[in-house]
Amino acid sequence: MKKIPQRTCVICHSKFDKRDLLRIVSDNSGEIFFDPTGKANGRGAYLCKSEECINQFLNKNYLERAFKRKVEKEVVERVRQQISNVK
């Protein structure tokens, strides 16, 4: 039987199957984006699909904390739009 990878939501700290979480990625060039495939290269931060966790992550500077660098408001809005297009 194949083992399903588990990941933790960076906001609520609940564990889920990797495929059940949303992944935000910072790639080697420094671009931050939503990764619907879960396979993009770079540092990833996982979120559960609850509105509360998504809003808190995007509103409370968790992007900056997760990727250890300053994040512009335009990037936050672009990620918010990418997530809302998938949901």
CATH number at residue 73: 3.30.1230.10
Rounded distance between C-alpha atoms, residue 42 and residue 53, angstroms = 22
Q: Which helix (H) or strand (E) holds 75?
A: helix 73-86
In a domain, 1, yes or no: no
> pLDDT at residue 87 above 80?
no
Can you say how many angstroms the Cα of residue 22 is from the centroid of all Cα atoms in its chain?
5
Average pLDDT over residues 44-55: 96
Which is higher by pLDDT, 15 or 4? 15
Average pLDDT over residues 34-43: 95
Residues 81-84: contacts with CB under 8 Å, at least 24 apart: 82/33, 82/34, 83/22, 83/34, 83/54
> pLDDT at residue 33 above 80?
yes
**pLDDT of res. 65:** 92
Count of the separate structural domains present in the chain: 1
Which domain covers residue 28, as residue numbers? 6-86
